[in-house]
Amino acid sequence: MITLLDYGAGNVRSVINALESLGETVKLVKTAEDILSAERLVFPGVGAFGSMMQVLHEKKYVGPLKKYLQSNRSFLGICLGLQALFENSEEAPGVQGLGFISGSVKRFSTHLSIPHIGWNGLNIKQSSRIFNKILSDEKFYFVHSYHVVPDDATVAMTTTNYGYEFVSSIQKGNIMASQFHPEKSGRAGLQILKNFLDTSSQKIKPLQISKTTKPAKRIIACLDVRSNDQGDLVVTKGDQYNVREKGAVRNLGRPVELAQRYYEEGADEITFLNIIGFRDFPLEDMPMLEVLKQTSKKVFVPLTIGGGIRDYTDKDGHYYTALQVAAEYFRSGADKVSIGSDAVLIAEEYLKSNIKTGKSAIEEIARVYGNQAVVISIDPRRVYVKSPNAVNHEVIETSDPGPEGEQYCWYQCTIKGGREGRDLDAITLAKACEELGAGEILLNCIDRDGTNQGFDLELIKAVKNAVSIPVIASSGAGCVEHFLEVFSETNVEAALAAGIFHRQEVPITKVKDYLKTKMEVRP
Ligand code: 1PR
């Protein structure tokens, strides 16, 4: 039996699933007494430091947590559960943490994209049973904008490099805590959890003396999901967003099975897009929630879900906010939500006055679940123009001229799965969404989608250069060389593909094998 502290924000389901997959029974903390009587406690913090401490105070957990830590019983903090152990955080000035470790939590100050999202390595600084059977080139999943700075460097169990070296986990007696997410770090992460649970095992020597770790480029498998004409939920794939062939919706497999296959083949993340979510109310579309629940029991890498995340009034007149819709997805196992159509409408409204209301779906979900949990999915289409001043949009010069020899183009945002073009360009949308608090951009391209012709590098460069949050390049991957091209010619952190994986033309293992001698990828 292991006790887990869920204070109500974020995806604790994944931690529970990971522990249960290792044969543990998980007991959730319901009262302060549960903390005091626990023998092993896991604290997976998600969201923001200030709101976490507020909830811990409201539930009267702060005193019991401090007592538990002082008693030196087995403890594992994850992400914010590590940061909570410190005295304070730049994220919430004036708010006191648990103060178990002296030091503070600071925001990253680096030229690299913030949040630090993705897979990175560990420099082991303290021997610990937790590294049993962990290979030295293993990578772990990070997602954070802040990192801990202990006053006493000897508490560091590992460090990691992201622009500079930061402390990525600590160990003080039986208290361990990591900034990375073992529950989302595939096989290696499950091994770390297993080692934590096995309190009888011997300490082992450090595996690495000193090494500079590097963030890995991520390879993401995307599953476009919808019901086919028989009412079955299927993975489909379009050509330039048309998913029908001879009138019927293409059926490329079952969502949970395919997700599991991609996980086993080494996908660094899985994205589900409910491509007709804009039509229906997603909370009525229970199969999608079920897909997430089932997948998160078997797949231990980050899961993103998109489609239909917006405010909604159902047929009985009940009003649901986008935050409530997102909350349901997080509870079912999602780590991030992706907002498509609604992001365009939100940005249009925001750009009229440049005043943040704090009430848009982007702002609300980011406030509660953290910026890293909000991905903006952009569905742009190229529009050629004769001169850079022809339209009031961000226009780029293109080396791929239009049908009438046009040398310039802009990228028009669309909504409702490409069905409706808007008077907004992709670069302006990306910048506006970053200002509103989005943590990542999923950059599709309708012209390239399903064509196997390679990513639209001009679009990707233009958007990536306009924002400082991570960008996922999407649409058009046809061979392994296209991944090398997008990573060498642009600064994107991740590349996503669908068709080549579904049709088994290029398996993920082949992409990784090809890239591994040329750049940092997760093994
Ligand atoms: O607008 O918030 O309800 O979200 C709907 C989501 O569904 C959006 O993220 C939108 O991109 C997606 N979507 C809507 N219609 C389609 C369609 O195909 N008819 N799919 C669609 C978008 C694009 C990619 C695709 C890549 C890679 N799919 O994610 O997987 O282009 O494909 P490839 O490697 O085969 O070229 P909302």
Q: For residue 348, how far is the Cα from the chain centroid?
A: 25
Q: What is the mean pLDDT of the chain?
A: 94
Ligand 1 pocket check for 341: Cβ under 6 Å = yes
Cα–Cα dist 203/355, whole Å:
55
Residue of the CA atom closest to atom 31 of ligand 1:
475
Q: How far is CA 418 from CA 50, 75, 337, in A?
A: 39, 48, 19
In a domain, 418, yes or no: no
Cite the active site residues. Answer: 79, 181, 183, 224, 379
Task: Name the pLDDT band for 10 (thresholds 50, 70, 90).
Answer: low
Ligand 1 pocket check for 243: Cβ under 6 Å = yes
Cα of 274 to ligand 1 centre, how many Å?
A: 8
Q: Is 511 helix (H, G, I), strand (E, B) or coil?
A: helix
Q: Indicate which atom in ligand 1 lies nearest the CA of residue 416.
A: 1
Ligand 1 pocket check for 474: Cβ under 6 Å = yes
pLDDT for the residue 1: 92
Ligand 1 pocket check for 273: Cβ under 6 Å = yes
Last residue of a domain, one of 162, 197, 232: 197
What domain range includes position 477? Answer: 218-378+426-515
Is residue 211's pLDDT more than 80?
A: no
Is residue 30's pLDDT more than 70?
A: yes
Residue of the CA atom closest to atom 7 of ligand 1:
275
CATH number, residue 235: 3.20.20.70
Q: Is 152 helix (H, G, I), strand (E, B) or coil?
A: coil
Is residue 301's pLDDT more than 60?
A: yes
In a domain, 125, yes or no: yes
pLDDT for the residue 88: 98
Of 378, 296, 298, nearest to 338 (Cα)? Answer: 378
User: Do 136 and 49 share a domain, yes or no?
Assistant: yes
Ligand 1 pocket check for 282: Cβ under 6 Å = no
Cα of 337 to ligand 1 centre, how many Å?
A: 14
User: Do 178 and 296 share a domain, yes or no?
Assistant: no
Structural domain total, the chain: 2
For the segment 223-247, the average pLDDT, to the nearest whole number, is: 93
Cα of 455 to ligand 1 centre, how many Å?
A: 15
User: Do 182 and 227 share a domain, yes or no?
Assistant: no
Ligand 1 pocket check for 456: Cβ under 6 Å = no
Is residue 154's pLDDT more than 70?
A: yes
pLDDT for the residue 206: 57
- From 72-86, 194-208, 489-503, the region with the lowest mean pLDDT: 194-208
DSSP string, 49-85: HHHHHHHHHHTT-HHHHHHHHHTT-EEEEEEHHHHTT
Is residue 208's pLDDT more than 60?
A: no
Strands 146-150 and 103-107: antiparallel
Is residue 92's pLDDT more than 80?
A: yes
DSSP string, 413-473: EEETTTTEEEEEEHHHHHHHHHHHT--EEEE--TTTTTS-S---HHHHHHHHHH-SS-EEE
pLDDT > 70 in the chain, percent: 97
User: Do 131 and 33 share a domain, yes or no?
Assistant: yes
Burial readout 179-211 (b: 16 or more C-beta within 10 A, e: otherwise) = bbbbbbbbebbbbbbbbbbeeeeeebebbeeee
Last residue of a domain, one of 197, 226, 248: 197
Cα of 273 to ligand 1 centre, how many Å?
A: 6
Ligand 1 pocket check for 277: Cβ under 6 Å = yes
Residue of the CA atom closest to atom 5 of ligand 1:
307
User: Do 131 and 272 share a domain, yes or no?
Assistant: no
Is residue 416's pLDDT more than 90?
A: yes
Residue of the CA atom closest to atom 10 of ligand 1:
417
- From 41-50, 184-193, 216-225, 475-484, the region with the lowest mean pLDDT: 41-50
Is residue 156's pLDDT more than 90?
A: yes
Is residue 137's pLDDT more than 90?
A: no
pLDDT tens-place string over residues 351-398 = 999 999 999 999 999 988 889 999 999 999 999 999 999 999 999 999
In a domain, 413, yes or no: no
For the segment 106-135, the average pLDDT, to the nearest whole number, is: 92
Last residue of a domain, one of 197, 227, 243: 197
Ligand 1 pocket check for 47: Cβ under 6 Å = no
pLDDT for the residue 209: 55
User: Do 171 and 225 share a domain, yes or no?
Assistant: no
User: Do 484 and 351 share a domain, yes or no?
Assistant: yes
Residue of the CA atom closest to atom 19 of ligand 1:
241
User: Do 497 and 435 share a domain, yes or no?
Assistant: yes
Is residue 90's pLDDT more than 80?
A: yes
- From 110-119, 445-454, 503-512, the region with the lowest mean pLDDT: 110-119
Of 421, 384, 388, nearest to 403 (Cα)? Answer: 384
User: Do 136 and 238 share a domain, yes or no?
Assistant: no
In a domain, 263, yes or no: yes
Task: Name the pLDDT band for 46 (thresholds 50, 70, 90).
Answer: confident
| Contact assessment for residue 122 and residue 149, using Cβ atoms and an 8 Å cutoff | no
Is residue 54's pLDDT more than 90?
A: yes
In a domain, 206, yes or no: no
CATH number, residue 102: 3.40.50.880
pLDDT for the residue 285: 60
In a domain, 391, yes or no: no
pLDDT > 90 in the chain, percent: 85
Ligand 1 pocket check for 131: Cβ under 6 Å = no
Strands 396-397 and 374-378: unpaired
User: Do 297 and 190 share a domain, yes or no?
Assistant: no
Q: What is this structure's pTM?
A: 0.96
For the segment 299-322, the average pLDDT, to the nearest whole number, is: 93
Instruction: Read off φ and ψ for residue 414, nearest 5 degrees.
Output: -125, 160
Which amino acid, one-letter code, is at 350?
A: Y
pLDDT tens-place string over residues 314-343 = 888 899 999 999 999 998 999 999 999 999
Sorted by sequence, the CB contacts under 8 Å of residue 431 that are 6+ apart come out as: 466, 467
In a domain, 402, yes or no: no
User: Do 130 and 21 share a domain, yes or no?
Assistant: yes
Cα of 291 to ligand 1 centre, how many Å?
A: 18
User: Do 331 and 466 share a domain, yes or no?
Assistant: yes
In a domain, 207, yes or no: no
Cα of 415 to ligand 1 centre, how many Å?
A: 11
Strands 396-397 and 420-425: unpaired
